[in-house]
Amino acid sequence: VRDCIQKTLTEWSSKISQDQNQETLEVLECSVAQAIEKINPEERDELKVSAKLFIVGSNSSSIRDAVDLACSALGVSQLDSVIIVPPPVEDGTNLSLEYLQPYWKELENLVQNKKIVAIGTSDLDKTLLEQLYLWAQVKPSSNQVNLASCCVMPPDLTAFAKECDIQLLTHNDPKELLCEASFQEVLQESIQNVKANKWIPLWLLRYSVIVKSRGIIKSKGYIVQAKRNAS
């Protein structure tokens, strides 16, 4: 992730003048057009577009921004699946249904508005997954389990997922895919005269475009949104 951000920022900043650099940094919208392959509408039915959304320093309202930006970048009107990773809970606090609810409600709205087909979760144990399933209007279609935390799927989680038709997937993402300090360090290295410590990453979305019939990845990438503190 760090390398992708650094290469994009370096290439972007090299193509703009110093004056533009200072002015544009009020927003920090950096993209390299040739790096993103838009999907041909004629091929859309043959492809599955999935995303995993890591909320870093923002609230549930930014989920819509992330999905809209992903759809726009890829040239599609809808994502086939989105897995949500809420921001880490404070030390000494356990992840709870109440903590998840605002994020899940935002995803449900996007399903109802036909921006997403299926929504899933990450690293929920059987108890919390069951609580979410019973409460949610749009049920989770999948739950990712970190390979580092368990070599074998917990039997109670497996049984519940099978009973409720929830797909259990594995992943090896770190708990914090993009921390504030790492993002600021990349920013400092990539763009001249930027006050990196003012910038905070809000969310990171990782997308993949898969050819359904062959199960191969056609393209993949990251979209990141950050904001600058006024203080």
- From first to last of the 231 residues of the chain, give the pLDDT tens digit: 777 777 777 776 776 654 444 444 555 566 556 667 889 999 999 999 999 999 987 778 889 999 999 999 999 999 999 999 988 887 767 889 999 999 999 999 999 999 999 999 999 999 999 999 999 999 999 999 987 766 678 899 999 999 999 999 988 888 777 778 888 888 777 776 677 777 888 899 999 999 999 989 999 988 888 887 765
List strands edge to edge, sheet with 79-85: 167-171, 142-146, 116-122, 79-85, 47-55, 199-211, 216-228
Cβ atoms within 10 Å, residue 227: 15
CA 47 to chain centre: 19
Token reading at 92: 């000494």
Judged by DSSP in three states, 85 sits in: strand
DSSP structure string for 43-65 = GGGGEEEEEEEEE-SS-TTHHHH
Cα–Cα distances in Å, from 106 out to 72, 99, 103, 183? 19, 13, 5, 26
List the beta bridge partners of residue 169. 144
By residue count, the chain amounts to 231
